[in-house]
Amino acid sequence: MIKILKIFFVSLILIFFVSLTYLSIFGIETNRFNKLISDKIRNIHPEIDVKLKKIKLTIELFELKVLIVTKNPVIEIGNKKLSLKKVSTTYDIKSFFKKDFGITNLNFTTDYNEVKNIIKFARAFKDSPQLLIIDKVSKSGKLNINARLKINENGQIENNYLITGEVKDYSLKLFNNDEIKKINFKFKYKEKNTSLTDVNLNYKNLTISSDNLQLIKINNIYKISGNIKNSKSTIDQELYSNYIKNINFKNLILSSDSNFSFEVDKKFKLKNLNLKSNIDIESVEYDTNNNKIFKKILPNLTNKIDIKKNKIYLEYGNGFKISGRGEIFISEKKENIEYEIENFKNRSKVDLNLSLNQNPLKFSLLNFYKNEDVKCKLNIKLNKNKQNIIIENLSIISEKNKFNVNNLQINNNNKISDFKSIKLKYEDKDKIKNDLIITKNKKTYLVEGNNFSLNSIINNALTGDKKKNVEFFDNKTRYFKVKFDQNDIDKDHVINDLSGEIVLVGSKINTLNLNSKFKKNQKVSLSILIKNNEQVTTFYSDLAKPFVKKFNFIKGFEEGKINFSSSKINNISSSQLNIYDFKLKELPALTKLLTLASLQGIADILTGEGVRFNEFEMIFTNKDDKMTIDEIYSIGPAISILMEGYVKKNKLVSLRGTLVPATTINKFVSSIPILGNILVGKKTGEGVFGVSFKIKGPPKNLKTTVNPIKTLTPRFITRTLEKIKNTN
């Protein structure tokens, strides 16, 4: 009997240890504990209902714990269901005797559930404003979760949990109706720390990816960091139009690789953004339709600038820094551009280098023109603050031609407030070598040089658009002292020792006095004085030819002196021009008039050796685009002319007057030899006193009519007598 009992107890112990070994290694499946586990969870979280299938039990013998595993359970909160793939937990056997909760952890893996269902499930468990927003914007997508939760003796989930998972084909619709589609990523969530990997999404046809994104909660602040990339794509204009205003960029194609970090507070306010980005711009277009000023300097400038193959580095933090280089097409031909832009604490810095090797360059006022295929480099270095823009250096270098500006200050009204120096050294279109230096010395600007051509400046003053009063300077008063060894008026005429002073108030001349001389000591002077809002201008030259020839309709002008005076008030000027002792060889309008008047002899002289005039006087007024000619009177040994009318610039010419051969005048004054047969015939009374005429029409299509006259007007006789009397 004792032997049987020994065998029984030994067998029982053996069976017990075998069973424990089996349970430790293989475990058993049962559904007897389903209700116990569900009830335990419900006691702590009454809103949760866990529906379990068969449970597999495995004993951890040495730790006195039971490992419980179940597959394909369903968790319900209200009417929300979450399908799981696997759930496992550990039950502490000792807690049974201590009457503790017993379950020490909970691990589960879900199937791929709809994102909206999981969000609703989470909101049912514990709602929050963040979950509400995510619920509202989410449209579609699937999510799976792997969770490892630790549970304390009171059944509460501890904070050292770990949740991982994957989101596939998620899409959301933002409150501005923009959609972000095809969002895919893997995630890992710890307490106050979330990381995303293998991220990719599509926004406005832009494919965006990231290797790693981190979200860390510190108190009430979320710190977000990571990298983000996009492959070469056409960027929707809406993405940058709100940030780059008043610049007409379009057709932007680029790729980028960026690292960033920023913080978001509990009110979703973004701050402390830091960004480092490498950007490859394949191409972008910039509209230049309104840049008329640039088109005058760059004649081949098209209506758009193409920027291509630019590699850019962008750094953004307390300020931003951009540096890059690449190709730029301001016309059909390629140029190279290199730039660096910085902006920190309301101060900006720009360093720009641009080649202009393939494009012409033009400065009309300086009579300078650079042809295509001539090397040229533009460099601009500037600083900008709240008050003004300071151009530290602006230089244009093309072969031996150099243009340089230093420390030019531009205020908020885009007016020049000051500059240190301007240096020009170049050869103009007439092959004249120019050098000009303007330097500031205390309160005075010195304008000097060995040689500087005034050709284009004079042309612009005589024939330029008087309505374009460009305001370059601010309203300060500036004093200029002028001193040149030599100045070219044109190819054939040079003045020497030009000196004087100019006072500008703003961009307008207040006082000007300049004196010079031609090589034969022939004087030339110009003065302008403004007093009581009246501008008085006087000009005199012992040599009239270089100034008169600026008017293209007068050709073959020889000799003569010129005197001009003008008074201008409120943009209305009254002027008088006198030219003395000159000769004309060509004047198309006068030649035609003489031919129509059957005065062919004088017409032949005009186109041959020239007709001499003792004096030409013109009294006229200018207002806007209209010149009103009160009187033009010219007297000479061969003919005299009296004329009046008006000219509307580029629109209409309307002139009328009287032309009288010298023989008729001689009838009255008996002092000039008669020309004889050429003009009035051989017999007394043959011929006419003169002709009246009208010239009218558009400038390029003038029509002339001529009528013989037998009697001269008293006005003509009076003016002639006055002139002859003054001459004698």
Nearest to 579 by CA among 554, 552, 603: 554
Mean pLDDT of all residues in 603-622: 70
CA dihedral 363, 367, 368, 369 (to 10 degrees): 90
Do residues 280 and 240 make contact, with C-beta atoms less than 8 angstroms apart?
no
Whole-angstrom CA distances from 158 to 65, 154, 190, 402, 433 are: 19, 10, 11, 76, 87
* Confidence grade of residue 95 (pLDDT, cut at 50, 70, 90): low
Tell me the two tokens of residue 381.
């270095």
Q: Percentage of the chain surpassing pLDDT 90?
A: 24
Instruction: Give the tens place of pLDDT for each residue, 401-410.
Output: 999 999 999 9
Instruction: Give the tens place of pLDDT for each residue, 178-204.
Output: 788 899 999 888 877 889 999 999 888
- Indicate whether 513 pLDDT > 90: yes
Q: Any alpha helices (H) in 251-361, and if so which ranges? A: 292-297
Instruction: Give the tens place of pLDDT for each residue, 215-225.
Output: 888 888 889 89
Instruction: Give the tens place of pLDDT for each residue, 359-392.
Output: 999 998 888 999 998 999 999 999 988 888 999 9
Tell me the two tokens of residue 437.
């230096």
Nearest to 422 by CA among 464, 452, 399: 452
Please state the pTM of the whole predicted model: 0.72
Interatomic CA distance for residues 469 and 467, integer angstroms: 6
Q: Residue 687's CB: how many other CB atoms inside 10 A?
A: 18
Lowest-confidence region among 86-90, 420-424, 439-443, 608-612 = 608-612
* Confidence grade of residue 173 (pLDDT, cut at 50, 70, 90): confident
Nearest to 660 by CA among 709, 600, 587, 608: 709
Q: What is the pLDDT of residue 531?
A: 83
Interatomic CA distance for residues 301 and 246, integer angstroms: 20
Average pLDDT value over all residues in the chain: 78
- Indicate whether 510 pLDDT > 60: yes
- Indicate whether 626 pLDDT > 70: yes
DSSP characters for 478-524? EEEEEEEEEEESSSS-EEEEEEEEEEEETTEEEEEEEEEEETT--EE
Q: Percentage of the chain surpassing pLDDT 70?
A: 75
Q: What is the pLDDT of residue 126?
A: 66
Interatomic CA distance for residues 679 and 686, integer angstroms: 9
Do residues 696 and 655 make contact, with C-beta atoms less than 8 angstroms apart?
yes
- Based on its alpha-carbon atoms, the radius of gyration of the chain, rounded to whole angstroms, reads 48
Nearest to 582 by CA among 611, 553, 605: 611
Residue 437 or residue 597, greater confidence: 437
- Indicate whether 145 pLDDT > 60: yes
Do residues 73 and 84 make contact, with C-beta atoms less than 8 angstroms apart?
yes
Do residues 279 and 256 make contact, with C-beta atoms less than 8 angstroms apart?
yes
Lowest-confidence region among 139-143, 157-161, 465-469, 555-559 = 465-469
Residue identified by tokens 């023109």 is 369
Lowest-confidence region among 52-66, 312-326, 485-499 = 52-66
Mean pLDDT of all residues in 254-268: 87
Mean pLDDT of all residues in 223-236: 89
* Confidence grade of residue 393 (pLDDT, cut at 50, 70, 90): very high
DSSP characters for 656-691? EEEEEEHHHHHHHH--S---THHHH-SSTT-S-SEE
* Confidence grade of residue 672 (pLDDT, cut at 50, 70, 90): very low
SS3 label, residue 580: strand
Beta bridge partners of 378: 354, 396
* Confidence grade of residue 680 (pLDDT, cut at 50, 70, 90): very low
Do residues 655 and 629 make contact, with C-beta atoms less than 8 angstroms apart?
yes
Interatomic CA distance for residues 562 and 605, integer angstroms: 23
Residues 6+ apart with CB under 8 A from 149: 105, 106, 107, 157, 158, 161
- Indicate whether 445 pLDDT > 60: yes
**DSSP, res 236:** P
Tell me the two tokens of residue 546.
């270089």
- Indicate whether 689 pLDDT > 70: no
Q: Are strands 377-384 and 494-505 parallel, antiparallel or unpaired?
A: unpaired
* Vertex 684 angle, CA 678 and 686, to 5°: 55
Interatomic CA distance for residues 224 and 260, integer angstroms: 8
Residue identified by tokens 């932007």 is 252
Interatomic CA distance for residues 689 and 679, integer angstroms: 10
Q: What is the pLDDT of residue 60?
A: 63
SS3 label, residue 581: strand
Q: Residue 606's CB: how many other CB atoms inside 10 A?
A: 24
Mean pLDDT of all residues in 154-163: 74
Instruction: Give the tens place of pLDDT for each residue, 483-499.
Output: 999 998 888 889 999 99
Lowest-confidence region among 380-384, 388-392, 396-400, 551-555 = 551-555
Q: What is the pLDDT of residue 466?
A: 52
Q: What is the pLDDT of residue 444?
A: 93
Residue identified by tokens 């600007």 is 445
| Phi, psi dihedral angles at 205 (to 5 degrees) | 65, 15
Residue 105 or residue 341, greater confidence: 341
Whole-angstrom CA distances from 271 to 212, 268, 321 are: 21, 10, 18
Mean pLDDT of all residues in 104-126: 78
Tell me the two tokens of residue 465.
């658009």
